[in-house]
Amino acid sequence: MAEEVVTASWAYGPSTWSILVHGGAGDVAAERLPLHVAGCERAVAAGAAVLAAGGSALDAVQRAVEVLEDDPCFNAGTGACLNADGAIELDASLMDGTTLRAGGVCALEPFKNPIAIARRVMDESPHVLLAAEGAARFAIERGFQRAAPESMITELARAKLEAARAKHTTEGWAGGTVGAVARDANGRVAAATSTGGVVNKLAGRVGDSPIVGAGTYADDTAAACSTTGHGEAMIRVCLAKTAIDAVRATSAESAARGSLAMMHARTGGTGGAILAARDGSLGLARTTRTMSWAAAANDGTRASGA
Ligand code: ASP
């Protein structure tokens, strides 16, 4: 596989517990990158606190993603990018590697924390993925409140939509999708991913992030994976599942590198992937110019980058 397309990668571990978050593959301007890295560091600290207290990998990745959704820097929750109608439509999913249970929402109108709704889909419905109006109804029935769109739309999101409209493009995605993977002290792994998708997308477009096997996958016998990047390409190669299958024969970092190289070779798509393997080792790779990330482990390791 032509691995020269990989622009950066990182590895750590093994460890008793560990967590790794990303703030989206893309091309974030240099002056904004420190904000993205700091946001990832805050999110990983919140997830690490869950793991340090003996909490589950699933609770840790959900907590970390909620922190990222609340940070207006990122293209998830507050700060999500706008579709061609100038509206927010949110995609999110999470997966538990022990039970292989998963939950997701897609094309969801503004709600502050779509990942928390995805968790309830997993825990309280017989389904894996709820879309649009039905997902909103499910959320409201469980006490979630619709958010006023203005409370979640940032100036930056408006500016990016104007720029994309001027160029007649949906390309150059927002660069702020978020995700987290973790392994807890009991050897369980989990993954979560949340996004506004791509700028100027058609209303109703659903990307990889809420799709089990594309944007998110977790299996205690191998690893957990959250991906980011060109969603249509990632769906077509089932990127997260592909990376997890690769981890059975190689390291988390090398699985991330190899799966992204394969996606680029087969579809031309670029992006990033983060993995937490069953032995608590972590790995990430990207084929884009930037992808903010932060990691933590039980031995006190704290690392971050972009
Ligand atoms: N993968 C996301 C999507 O296509 C976008 C991203 O990761 O930036 O919806």
Q: Cα(185) to centroid of ligand 1, in Å?
A: 30
For the chain, domain boundaries: 3-305
For 146-176, what is each residue's pLDDT tens digit?
999 999 999 999 999 999 999 887 655 668 9
Q: Residue range 296-302: average pLDDT?
A: 97
* Closest listed residue to residue 164, CA positions, set 122, 131, 197, 130: 197
The pTM assigned to this predicted structure is 0.98
d(CA 119, CA 144): 12
For 3-37, what is each residue's pLDDT tens digit?
899 999 999 999 999 999 999 999 999 999 999 99
The helix, strand and coil proportions of the chain, stated in percent and rounded to the nearest 5, come to 35, 25, 40
End-to-end CA distance of the chain: 24
Q: pLDDT value at position 173? A: 65
Q: Is the CB of 39 under 6 A from ligand 1?
A: no
- Ligand 1 atom index nearest CA of 173: 8
Residues pairing with 273 in the sheet:
227, 285
pLDDT at 1 over 80: no
d(CA 128, CA 145): 21
* Positive or negative: CA dihedral 50, 51, 54, 56: positive
Helix (H) or strand (E) holding 114: helix 114-124
Q: Is the CB of 195 under 6 A from ligand 1?
A: yes
Q: Is the CB of 209 under 6 A from ligand 1?
A: yes
**Average per-residue pLDDT in the chain?**
97
The residues annotated as belonging to the active site are 177
Q: pLDDT value at position 168? A: 80
Q: pLDDT value at position 24? A: 98
For 128-141, what is each residue's pLDDT tens digit?
999 999 999 999 99
Q: Cα(199) to centroid of ligand 1, in Å?
A: 10
Q: Are 289 and 22 in contact (CB under 8 A)?
A: no
d(CA 229, CA 291): 10
Q: pLDDT value at position 2? A: 77
Q: 169 is written with which tokens?
A: 């493009």
Label residue 209 left, alpha or beta by phi (over 0 means left) and psi (-120 to 50 means alpha): alpha
- Ligand 1 atom index nearest CA of 207: 9
Q: How many CA atoms lie within 13 A of 27 on its CB side?
A: 7
For 81-112, what is each residue's pLDDT tens digit?
999 999 999 999 999 999 999 999 999 999 99
d(CA 237, CA 190): 21
Q: Is the CB of 193 under 6 A from ligand 1?
A: no
Q: Residue range 278-296: average pLDDT?
A: 98
- Ligand 1 atom index nearest CA of 234: 1
Fold (CATH) for 3-305? Glutamine Phosphoribosylpyrophosphate, subunit 1, domain 1 (3.60.20)
Q: Is the CB of 77 under 6 A from ligand 1?
A: no
Percentage of the residues of the chain whose pLDDT score is greater than 90? 96
Q: Cα(215) to centroid of ligand 1, in Å?
A: 8
For 169-196, what is each residue's pLDDT tens digit?
765 566 899 999 999 999 999 999 999 9
Q: pLDDT value at position 260? A: 98
Q: Is the CB of 89 under 6 A from ligand 1?
A: no
Site to probe by mutation for ligand 1, drawn from 171, 177, 200, 263 as the one with most ligand atoms within 8 Å of Cβ, is 177
For residue 255, the one-letter residue type is: A
Q: Residue range 39-61: average pLDDT?
A: 98
Residues 6 or more apart whose Cβ sits within 8 Å of residue 67? 39, 42, 43, 46, 47
Phi, psi dihedrals of residue 30, rounded to the nearest 5°: -55, -40
Angle between helices 252-267 and 239-247 (to 10 degrees): 140
Q: pLDDT value at position 295? A: 98
Q: 139 is written with which tokens?
A: 């959320």
